[in-house]
Amino acid sequence: MFIARKKAIRYVMAIFIIFSLNFAIPRAMPGDPVMNLLGEDVIVSESSVAEMRTKMGLDEPLYIQYLKYWSDIFHLDLGYSYHLHSEVSKVLFTKMKWTLLLVVPTIILGAVIGTPLGALAGWRRKDSNEKIMTMSFLFVYCTPPYFLSILFIYLFSFKIGWFPLKGFYTTGTPGDIVYHLFLPVTVMTLFAASRNYMIMRGSVIQEMQMLYATYARAKGLFGREILFRHIFKNASLPIITLVALDFGFIFSGALFVEIVFSMNGMGNLIYDAILARDYPVLQGSFLLITVMVVLANLLADILYGLLDPRVRWQG
Amino acid sequence: MKNIWSVWIFLLFLLSLILSTGALGADDADGMTLRIGTPNLVKSPSLVGDYYMGIFAHLSNPPLMRVAEDGTLEGQTAEMYEVSDDGKTWKFYIDDDLYWSDGTKVTPDDVKFTIEYYTANSVIGWLEDLLEEVSVTDDNAVVIELSEPYATLNQEFVTYNILPKHVWEDIDDPKEYTNKGEYVGCGPFYIKGTALEAGVLYFEKNPHWKGTQPNIDSVEVHMYSNMDVLSIALKRGDVDAYYKYGRGYPYANVRALEEDTFDFVVTDYTGLTFLGMNIRKEPLSDVSFREAISYAVDYDEIERIVALGYGGAANRGFVPRSMAYFKETEQLEYDSSNAKENLDDAGYVDSDGDGLREDLNGDDMELVLLIRSDDMDYQRIAELLKEYLGNVGIDVEIRMVERSTWFDLKDEYNYDMTVTGTTPWGMWMWANWGTGYFDSRRTGRGVLHTIDDPEFHALCDDIMSTTDEGQLEEYAHDVQDYYAENLPGIALYWGQYVTPYNDDWTGWSSDPIFGIYRLDTFLNVVKA
């Protein structure tokens, strides 16, 4: 009970500090949100700029803005974006829907494909087939996401002509959406899978050296049984952390793919908000990511406890 | 082994299912559609509040005036206009044959409403102090009375889209109003919808359009956030033409399209890339120093490397040939010996023999060349400039920052030189001929506002207060002479607007401000 209370306090403190940083970091960046509202070839008087600044609440002293920021959070009000002409909560909700469609399959497929293949590669690391597979995953792992996305578009959309070049949909039917998502999801899955593969492979190699693996063989278990009944569970602990973090950054992790495939998701939203110094959108997005990361960590803590009795016993 | 085959068969089945359902969805377009591909991204479906949506809406809600192919002004929603000698009273005669897409007739009341509505809601904020009255007359005209002369009002009305009063009068703040569906328009096409997740802006033919009937039924503006993919889309035939406001197709990508079935609209570009000088700070405040810099730059090489032959060396008068009342000032010349002599004569010498010149106080001098990271051309030019200035003994530090930081630093005058550009419209704004970029009395995102000189301010005021064409020409020449003499900015080259289109289509036209995105294009294009 004491430990649970200690953890709860830790999470609350983390949320408080991160929320405060969410307020401070956008304002610490050079650049004026008001100027960013204007077009490049627009000239205005100083009085118009001052009027816009007042309208956006940026003329108030910082501590007033900070207090208002907390007050808005407690009222579940994420503010208004003058760049996007909409309430931030509405913008986030719209973008989140699409980003979830892009990222959730990626995380699941990346874990489902990368983890067992990585475990097998670690277990049979001297096998030539596994060596080729490891090299292939290493190649993907080292390739810049932008390059791989462009390469896939060039090959599968331009040369072979199988897939569309942009957007989440053309007509909006479920089949059409899946058709548009197939290529970006494939690219992102390859990245997620290759990372999980490399981590799992290393983790299995490490676990194989432990005495319990030798004991399992001594008691007469076959290779794959040792791997999947004993080693896999212990070796997958780092993967849990990674997948939890993936869920934490679910709304921001697809920027390159969103840019290449011209998808209006959360990645592009945050990127544009940074360029435009759109404080409310930045604050709202970071707040959402913070909550997701904290929840994901909490979930990882619980899963760790379930998988590893040592964590459970130590609390 | 059997299992592996089952998995492969299942995956192939899944892929074919996806491809077939996707292909079914993609093939349902009706009638003839012109598809324009653009990197100009609409961020929110706000006709008044979104910068690029406002530009694309020139097709659906045409402004009062427009730019002709030769760069002169002519009427659009207003058939013609008159202006009083004192430049305070403007009368715009509205085209009597215009109808909104919902069947209502376009009246001068719509125009009056639009001007008053925009002024009250800070869309035309600068008009607030000037506007005395807007009235409607029996001869289908709108009269605008100003408290002070504003000789370029007709020019300003090239950009403001006309709105239907009966639709917008109930909307409190036009800038914050968004709508993913239809916007009532009076152009040959109206906005049918905006699908930001699909990256498309849809226009349908206005059923009540009485003018020349277009040969196409609809227009789609497809937005791409990646230029490489947009080039692929052009080659694949997903889009029929390219459009980017204020910039043509990247010169480096043109050759790849030349081998394919593409033709190009090439127009002299009114915007330009220039070296802006911070004339408020030493040593750039010294005109002799600026003069020396102008001789140190190899303009031909910059034009060759950056514009790839689509341009030419500029004049000292800054303003490009495509603008009205262009004056042939002296051409900018590369002469590093002359640059060195000028620097020696002005007292910027290398007294410690380290190969770099010192300032007038004898201190080491390192000039900050500020550039934005979002433009590769600026980065290439900055590297070349560093080399050219190094050749004459001037040490340069290239400071590359992202867009917002650039706005901040240039507004704080925290730089020595900057490589930046003007848009075509930007060259027209304020008192025309690029004055909006230099006049210190105005601010804005892309403008340098460096000139405090009362002579320059008076010149701008004179331009804005005369409607006499002869007088205007004289002032325009004075502005170009001022630039040539004082060099607040050096045009690095005058470029061309290159717009590729699929050669199945004919009938394109282009103007120096908005390129191919003009009514004539949409009324005349036809697919062979």
Question: Is it the case that residue B5 has pLDDT exceeding 60?
Answer: no
How many angstroms separate the CA atoms of B429 and A38, rounded?
14
On chain A, the residues whose CB falls within 8 A of the CB of B198 are 167-170, 172
Q: Nearest residue of B to residue A258 by CA position?
A: B225
Contact A153 B196 (CB under 8 A): no
What is the mean predicted confidence (pLDDT) over B437-455?
A: 90
Which pLDDT belongs to residue B17? 57
On chain B, the residues whose CB falls within 8 A of the CB of A35 are 404, 407-408, 411, 443-445
Quote the pTM value.
0.86
Question: Is it the case that residue B20 has pLDDT exceeding 70?
Answer: no
When CB atoms are compared, the residue of A98, A154, A176 closest to B25 is A176
On chain A, the residues whose CB falls within 8 A of the CB of B126 are 43-45, 48
On chain A, the residues whose CB falls within 8 A of the CB of B122 are 48, 51-52
Which pLDDT belongs to residue B129? 82
B-interface mutation test, from A156, A166, A270, A277, most B Cβ less than 10 A away: A166
Task: Please tell me whether residue B59 adopts helix, strand or coil conformation.
Answer: coil
Q: How far is CA B54 from CA A39, A264, B380, in A?
A: 11, 20, 32
Which pLDDT belongs to residue A3? 67
pLDDT band at B8 (very low <50, low <70, confident <90, very high): low
Task: Please tell me whether residue B203 adopts helix, strand or coil conformation.
Answer: strand
Instruction: Name the more confident of B247 and B390.
Output: B390
Which pLDDT belongs to residue B22? 55
Q: What are phi and psi of B229, to 5 degrees?
A: -70, -35
Question: Is it the case that residue B351 has pLDDT exceeding 90?
Answer: no
How many angstroms separate the CA atoms of B180 and B193, rounded?
5
How many angstroms separate the CA atoms of A199 and A114, rounded?
9
Cβ atoms of B323 and B269 within 8 Å: the answer is: no
Q: How far is CA B14 from CA A155, A167, B306, in A?
A: 19, 21, 47
Of B44-48, B99-103, B243-247, which range is least confident? B243-247
**What tokens were used for B515?**
């390129």
Which pLDDT belongs to residue A42? 65
Q: Which residues of chain A have pLDDT under 50?
A: none
Which pLDDT belongs to residue A53? 83
Q: Nearest residue of A to residue B426 by CA position?
A: A41
Total Cβ atoms within 10 A of residue B366: 12
Compute CA A306 distance to the chain's CA centroid, rounded to the nearest angstrom: 24
Total Cβ atoms within 10 A of residue B431: 24
Which pLDDT belongs to residue B28? 44
B-interface mutation test, from A27, A85, A159, most B Cβ less than 10 A away: A85
When CB atoms are compared, the residue of A30, A39, A154 closest to B408 is A30
pLDDT band at B25 (very low <50, low <70, confident <90, very high): very low
Q: Nearest residue of A to residue B246 by CA position?
A: A41
Contact B226 A51 (CB under 8 A): no
Which pLDDT belongs to residue A157? 93
How many angstroms separate the CA atoms of A191 and B1, rounded?
27
Of A175-184, B8-17, B409-418, which range is least confident? B8-17
Q: Is A133 exposed, middle or buried (0-12, 13-18, 19+ CB in 10 A)?
A: middle
Which pLDDT belongs to residue B492? 95
Contact A158 B235 (CB under 8 A): yes
Sign of CA dihedral A143, A147, A151, A157: positive
Which pLDDT belongs to residue A169? 92
**What digits encode the pLDDT tens for the residues A228-242?**
888 888 888 888 888
Contact A32 B407 (CB under 8 A): yes
A-interface mutation test, from B11, B15, B17, B18, most A Cβ less than 10 A away: B18
pLDDT band at B53 (very low <50, low <70, confident <90, very high): very high
**What digits encode the pLDDT tens for the residues B365-384?**
899 999 998 888 899 999 99
The closest of A263, A231, A136, A314 to B41, measured between CA atoms, is A263
Domain A94-314 classification at class level: mainly alpha
**What digits encode the pLDDT tens for the residues B327-346?**
999 999 999 999 999 999 99
When CB atoms are compared, the residue of A43, A169, A182 closest to B442 is A43
**What tokens were used for A275?**
């360029």
Which pLDDT belongs to residue B27? 45
Contact A41 B425 (CB under 8 A): yes
**What digits encode the pLDDT tens for the residues B113-146?**
999 999 988 888 778 888 999 999 999 999 999 9
Cis status, amide bond into B283, omega within 30 of 0: yes
How many angstroms separate the CA atoms of B432 and B434, rounded?
6
Contact B23 A179 (CB under 8 A): yes
Nearby residues of B276 by Cβ (< 8 Å), 6 or more positions away: B410, B417, B418, B419, B420, B437, B448, B450, B488, B489
Q: Nearest residue of A to residue B239 by CA position?
A: A165
The closest of A76, A314, A119 to A232, measured between CA atoms, is A119
Question: Is it the case that residue B290 has pLDDT exceeding 90?
Answer: yes
Which pLDDT belongs to residue B160? 94
The closest of B226, B227, B257, B314 to B491, measured between CA atoms, is B314
On chain A, the residues whose CB falls within 8 A of the CB of B22 are 163-164, 175-176, 178-180, 182
**What digits encode the pLDDT tens for the residues B215-238?**
999 999 999 999 999 999 999 999
Beta partners for B38?
Answer: B223
Contact B198 A168 (CB under 8 A): yes
Question: Is it the case that residue B300 has pLDDT exceeding 60?
Answer: yes
Which pLDDT belongs to residue B101? 97
Task: Please tell me whether residue B65 adopts helix, strand or coil conformation.
Answer: strand
Q: Nearest residue of B to residue A170 by CA position?
A: B198
Cβ atoms of B25 and A170 within 8 Å: the answer is: yes
Mean residue pLDDT of chain B comes to 90
Q: Set out the domains of chain B in order of their start, with CATH numbers.
A: 31-46+173-266+501-527 (3.40.190.10), 62-165 (3.90.76.10), 273-496 (3.10.105.10)
Contact B23 A268 (CB under 8 A): no
Q: Nearest residue of A to residue B424 by CA position?
A: A41
When CB atoms are compared, the residue of A38, A157, A162 closest to B444 is A38
How many angstroms separate the CA atoms of B398 and B382, rounded?
7
